[in-house]
Structure 1
Amino acid sequence: MQSIVTGSSGFIGSRLSYLLEKEGCDVVGVSRHMQSRERDVKCDLEKDCLKEEVFKEVNSVFHLAGHAHDLSNPKKSLQTYIALNVDATIKLALQSAEAGVKNFIFISSVKAGTMNSLSEPVSSEYRNIYGGTKLKAESELLRISKQFDMKVCIVRPALVYGKEVKGNLSLIKRAIEGGWCPPLPKIYNKRSMIHVDDLVKAIVLIEKMGENGQVYTVTDGYDYSTTEIYDTFLDLSNKPPPRFRLPLFVLKMFRFTPGPLGHKIGKLLEDDKFSSSKIESLGFQAQLKLRHLNETLF
C-alpha cells in the first residue's frame, strides 16, 4: 500500500510518515524541502501541481501542507493563504480523484469550526485568515466528496503539542527555559489540545474507519487552562513556581495592543474548547497528556 503525505517534513507530517512506514506503508513524502526516501518529491504546492506519475499505485493522500496559524507576519496577503490553504488543496483533491485514489484525508484545524458559517467570506483581518481559509477548503472538499468515488475525511486537530512543539507553545516553552517568561497570572480559561503522536494515530484510524464527507475533531479529552500549561512547562523545565505573578489586569490591558502581540496575549486569555466525541465513537482514545510532552508512542 502506498500513500502520499504532503507537508511530510513538518511537525505533524514527519510523525505521520514515520507511523505509516512503521505499519508497512510505502510513503511518498511531498515537501518544499528534499527528503531521504527514494520516492519523495520536492514540490511547492502553492505554485506547482504534482506530476501524474506520483499518484501511481497510491491508495491514500494525507494533505497537511498549508500556511500555519501562527501569523507572525500579519502583512502576509490574504491571497497567499488562499493560494495554498484553499486553491492547492482543491487541485490536489481533484488530481487524487482523477488518479483513482481511494482516500483523501485533509488536516484542517479546530479554527475552521470557530467561523460563523461555510458561506462566511474569508476576512483579511489576520486573526481570521487561517480559520477562514481552512473552512473554505473544507467546504470545497465536501462538495468533491459527493462527486467522485473517493472517500474524503476532514481532521480538525486541537492545539498540537509534542517533543518538537511549534508555534505559541514553543514560544512559551523557550521563554520559560530561557528565564525570560514573565510570571503569568492565574488564568482559568479552557483550551483543548492533543499530543502529536495521538493525533497521527487518530489520522490513520480515520483513513481506515472514517466515513466519507465527515469532519472529525481530535483532542486528548482534557481542557487545559493557561495556568496549567505554564505550570506544566515550569515543571518539565525543572523551574520552581514563581513567588509572585503578574496581576491579571496587566495582561488584559496588553490584550488590546495592535498587531501580533495583542493577538498572542489574547490567545493566553481565551477559551478554545472542543469535543472529540465523533472520533471517540470510532474507538479513539488519547494516551498522552501535556505532562507527557517529551514522550512518544512509537
Structure 2
Amino acid sequence: MRILLTGASGFVGCAVLGRLLADGRHQIRSSYRSIPKDVPEDVEVCVVPEIGEDTDWSGVLRGVTTIVHCAARVHVMNESEADPLSAFRRVNVQGTLQLARQAANSGVRRFIFISSIKVNGEATLPNAPFAATDRPAPIDPYGVSKMEAEQQLRELSSATGMEVVIIRPTLVYGPGVKANFLSMMRWLDKGVPLPLGSIDNRRSLVALDNLVSLIVTCVDHPAAANETFLVSDGEDLSTSELLRRMALALGKPARLLPVPVWLLEATAALLGKRAFSKRLCGSLQVDIGKTRTLLNWNPPLGVDEALSKVAKHYMETQAK
C-alpha cells in the first residue's frame, strides 16, 4: 500500500509521518510546500507549493491507494484576511475537493480527512458532549470551511465509491505545541499567579499521540469506511485541573487564584477578549463511544503521561 500524506511538515502531519515510518508496513509519499531539509530516505517527497482549485495532483497520485489529508489553512487567532471565509474555502474546501476528485479518478481507495470539532460547534453544556451524529453547527469561518469540505467529500464518495473517513479532533496538544497551550506552560513555569482557580468547566483534549494512533488505525480498518469519528483522550478536565496537572508535570506549583468566573468573563468582555474567556471558562466535551466501539480503539496514552511528554519537551527546548 502506498500512502500519500499531505501537510507532512505540520504539527499533526509530521507526527503521522513518524508513526507510519515506525510501523514500516507501507510506502510513504509526502507532500510539502517546499523541499524539506530533513526527510528520511525511505520517504518519497513531492513538492506542492499551493493547495487550491487548480492544483495538479496527477503526478503525486500515481500508485497511491490511500490519502491522509492533514494539509489545511488552520484556525488563526489574529486573522489578517479581509474575507477569512473565502481564504479558508480556497484551501480547505476547493483545495481538498480538487485533490479528492483527482484521487477518485486515479483509483485511490480511501481518503482520510482531518477535520475539526469546530464542525460540531464551539461549546457544550456540562455533561452533554458532542456526538459524531449531531447536526453540524459551526460558528467561525474555519469550522464552516471544514463542514463544507466534509459535505462535498461525502457526495463525492457516493458518486465515485472512494471511501471517505472523517476525523474531528478536539484541541490537540503534544511535544512542540504552540499558541495558548504553550503560553499556559510558560505562565506555570514562571510561577505567574493565574486567576483561574474557580473554573469548573469540562474540556475534551486529545494528545498528539492519541490522534495519530486513531489516524493510523483508520488507514486500513474496514469499519472506518465512510464514517465520521470524534477523538479525545477519553478524560475531560476543567481548565483549573488542566493547569494543576500541567504544573505537576513541569515540577512547578500551580498558583491559581479563586477568582469568580463571572468576574473573569466581565473583565474579558471589557478587554475585547470574550472569545478567549469562553475557551477558558466554557465547556466543550465530545463522546468518543462510537470511535471506541466501531474501531475497537482506545486512546493509548493517558492524560498525565501525555502532559509529561509535553513538559519534558518544553523543558529540554527551554534549556537550549
Task: Give the TM-score normalised by structure 1.
Answer: 0.88
The residue number in structure 1 matching 2:65 is 59
Is residue 7 from structure 1 mapped to residue 7 from structure 2 by the alignment? yes
RMSD over aligned Cα atoms:
2.3
Does 1:84 find its partner at 2:97? no
Q: Is the 8 A contact 1:112 1:135 kept in 2?
A: yes
For residue 225 of structure 1, report the CA deviation from its aligned partner: 0.7
- 1:113 counterpart letter in structure 2: N
Change (3 A) 1:84 1:56: same
Q: Say yes or no: does 1:241 pair with 2:228.
A: no
Q: Name the amino acid aligned to 1:57.
A: G
Alpha-carbon distance between aligned partners in 1 of 2:238 and 2:276, rounded to the nearest angstrom: 15
Q: 1:222 to 1:82 in 2, by over 3 A?
A: same
Q: CA deviation at 1:229?
A: 1.1
- Compared CA separation, residues 103 and 181, structure 1 to 2 (3 A): farther
Q: Structure 2 length normalisation: TM-score?
A: 0.83
Query: Following the alignment from structure 2 to structure 1, what is the Cα–Cα distance between the partners of residues 110 and 101?
Result: 12
Question: How many residue pairs get matched?
Answer: 289
- How far off its partner does 1:158 sit? 1.6
CA distance, structure 1, for counterparts of residue 271 and residue 89 of structure 2: 24
Deviation at 1:219, TM superposition (A): 1.2
Contact 2:88 2:142 in 1 (8 A): yes
The alignment partner of 2:159 has SS state of coil
Contact kept in structure 2, 1:7 and 1:13, CA below 8 Å: yes
After superposition, give the CA deviation of every residue in 1:92-128 in whole Å (9 maximum; x if it has no partner).
111111111111000001111228956x7x7xxxx51
Identity level (%)? 28
For residues 165-204 of structure 1, what are the structure 2 equivalents within 5 Å? 165-180=177-192, 182-204=194-216
Per-residue CA deviations over 1:220-239 (Å, capped at 9, x if unaligned) read 11111101111122112222
Give the 3 Å change call, closer, same or farther, for CA 28–64 of structure 1 in structure 2. Answer: same
Letter in 2 for 1:39: E
2:149 is the counterpart of 1:143: no
Q: What is the alpha-carbon distance in structure 2 between the residues aligned to residue 11 and residue 97 of structure 1?
A: 27
2-side partners of 1:243 and 1:271: how far apart? 19
Q: Offset at 1:41?
A: 2.0
Q: Is the 8 A contact 1:159 1:192 kept in 2?
A: yes
Taking structure 1 as reference, are residues 133 and 254 closer, same or farther at Cα in structure 2, changes over 3 Å only?
Answer: farther
Q: Which moved more, 1:190-199 or 1:107-116?
A: 107-116
Relative to structure 1, is the Cα distance of residues 50 and 182 closer, same or farther in structure 2, using a 3 angstrom cutoff?
farther
Alignment of 1:259-278 (within 5 A): 261-278=273-290
> 2:80 & 2:300 partners in 1: Cα distance?
36
Q: Secondary structure at the match of 1:224?
A: coil
Contact 1:194 1:289 in 2 (8 A): no
Structure 2 residues without counterparts, runs of 5 or longer: 123-133, 311-320
> Structure 1 pair 243/88, CA: closer, same or farther in 2 (3 Å)?
closer
Alignment partners' CA distance in 2, 1:7 and 1:191? 27
For structure 1, the 5+ residue unaligned runs are none
* Change over 3 Å in CA distance of 1:277–1:49 after alignment to 2: same
What do the CA deviations read for 1:173-217 (whole angstroms, capped 9, x no partner)? 233224446342321111111111111111111221244321011
The match for 1:231 is: 244
Secondary structure at the aligned position of 2:279 is classed as helix
Aligned match of 1:286 in 299, 305, 313?
A: 299
Amino acid at match of 1:67: R
Q: How does 1:43-122 map to 2 (within 5 A)?
A: 43=48, 44-46=50-52, 49-73=55-79, 75=81, 77-114=84-121, 117=135
Instruction: State the distance in 1 between where 2:177 and 2:167 align.
Output: 19
- Equivalent residues of 1:7, 1:30 under 8 A apart: yes
CA distance in 2, matches of 1:91, 1:33: 20
1-side partners of 2:300 and 2:166: how far apart? 22
Which residue of the partner structure matches residue 156 of structure 1? 168
